[in-house]
Homo-oligomer: A and B are copies of this chain.
Amino acid sequence: MEFDPWQITDIGDYEALFKFGMEPFEKYKARYSDLRYIRRGIVFGHRGFDKVDAAIQNHKPFVMMTGLMPSGSFHFGHKMVADEIIWFQKKGARTYIAAADIESYLMRGVALKDAKKIAVEEYLTNYIALGLDPKRTTFWYQSDYVAPYYRLADISAKEVTFNELKAIYGDITTSKIISALKQVADILHPQLPEFNGTMPTVVPVGADQDPHIRLTRDVAARLNHTYKMELPAATFHRFMEGLQGGKMSSSDPKSYIALSEDPKAARKKIMAAMTGGRATLEEQKKLGGVPENCAVYKFYFYHFVDDDNELKKMFNECKSGAITCGDCKKRCADMMETFLAEHQKKRAKAKEEAKELAEKFMSKK
């Protein structure tokens, strides 16, 4: 298989998901190529995107909902999601963002107080610094919101059999059931009469979230005795790999760079990243590097180089052996330092706006 420097065409393990009704995003790619993640095939699949597409094309209202799990630092994997939601907001989406603090408490033992702090200081602040318009955003904590939301979570219990939950979650716990129903309400409540009413909704998620999306679509269909709801659509992205290859994970600081990280410390992490370099410099010059397997190239590909021609040039420089990994890492580290320095200035400005947004929809009692 030939690697395409502009886009990921190999969806690998993700392909199996198409068997369960997920569809390739291919047909929307040209129309929405202004988003780098779509253009490069990082967003590779969807469910039910047609109604959202129609809403965007016809300038009709639609909802974009996303959830954040407030545990640990906000890193470049999260930045990708942030860029997607900001892009949807700019396409006209009514933007809904949930802080899944009940889920992080039940599933990971994060205290609600800590989760709230992380949600605001890490997630919301970064979202706004990256371009989210807080004035056009509804933000809530699962632990601190309005009655119609909780009512929807509760009545949804009637639409979900125990065996369906088992098929998704394996061993069932009380905590898993509550978390699942909260997610259902997170996604569907913007369509309640108290909010927007029936409306196309899109949830941009990692491919691992498909079972939740399917469950929520099933519940939306079954709730039709009481609420007419559009089945929520989803776009699915692949994950950005970590600095040492493998997963980029909040629980392993060596795998990620946080957007609030000290730029000098971030530079060091880039300089120590796993590259697609050869065993010796001589070999590298002769055979060229392997950008496909390079964590540094991933930063260009996902984040730092939006221009396809420029990216292709960098890809070829590596492939041809014209650049050493050392020089390439320095270049990436420079980009990283510049980005973080600028972003952190924006963060300082965004902080107050994030705090305000976090309090705006909180319950009064």
Contacts and interface: CB of A to CB of B under 8 A. Distances in A.
Interface in A261-294: none
**What number of copies of this chain does the assembly contain?**
2
A331 to B, nearest CB: 48
A144 B155 contact: no
A151 B143 contact: yes
A305 interface: no
A302 B178 CA distance: 42
Contact of A147 (B105, B106, B151, B363): B363
A228 B64 CA distance: 40
Contacts of A194: 365
Contact of A155 (B102, B154, B177, B362): B102
A354 to B, nearest CB: 20
Contacts of A161: 173-174
A52 B365 CA distance: 27
Interface residues of A, number: 33
Nearest to A192: B365
Given A150-B150, A154-B178, A178-B181, 6 more contacts: A102-B151, A105-B155, A112-B155, A147-B363, A160-B174, A165-B174
27 contacts: A102-B155, A105-B155, A105-B158, A106-B154, A106-B155, A143-B151, A143-B154, A143-B155, A144-B151, A145-B147, A146-B147, A146-B363, A147-B363, A147-B365, A148-B365, A157-B175, A157-B177, A158-B174, A158-B175, A160-B174, A162-B172, A162-B173, A162-B174, A165-B174, A174-B177, A174-B181, A194-B365
